[in-house]
Amino acid sequence: MEKIFVYGSLRQDFWNHDKVFKHRLRKIEKGRLKDFSLYHLSAGYPAIVPGSDTVYGEVCTLSHTKHLKSIDLLEGYTGDPTIDLYIREKKPVLLEDGKEEMCWVYLYINQHYVKSKGIYIPHGDWKKFMLNH
């Protein structure tokens, strides 16, 4: 089973959650990813890049590995960093119970763009950011 850490519109209560995950999840748990920074982009979605913060989100356990392709499609991920906005890598994510899980995470490739054009979210929670904006 594949696990994916989501920190933006794929989180519960956001527009892409049901669109992508409906009937495709085994489990959802709160999680946090250390050593990354979170930004809000003018296109209306977040991006994370290496940094010194903690990013908060959810760990989604997919019911089948094939469902990862649906998420790749949404994120525009082809595996070719010369054309993709994101790379997908496995990173350690801390769950609420203290356990660490290796999860797929989509990381924004163009760090310079994110840092110069994005809105920095120091508390690391895009859901909280969106509720206040």
Q: What is the pLDDT of residues 13-66, one digit of tens each?
A: 766 556 665 666 577 899 999 999 999 999 999 999 999 999 999 998 887 676
Residue 115: C-alpha distances to residues 39, 46, 111 (Å): 8, 12, 6
Q: In terms of CATH, what superfamily is 3-128?
A: Gamma-glutamyl cyclotransferase-like (3.10.490.10)
**What are 64-78's pLDDT values in tens digits?**
676 778 888 878 899
Structure pTM? 0.90
Q: Is 75 a catalytic residue?
A: yes
Look up residue 109 and give its two tokens: 């490739």
- The domain limits of the chain are 3-128
**What are 87-132's pLDDT values in tens digits?**
999 999 999 999 999 999 999 999 999 999 999 999 999 999 988 8
Q: Choosing from 29, 58, 75, 101, which is the catalytic residue?
A: 75
Closest listed residue to residue 107, CA positions, set 128, 77, 129: 77
Greatest alpha-carbon span in the chain: 38
Rounded to the nearest 5 percent, the helix, strand and coil shares of the chain are: 25, 45, 30
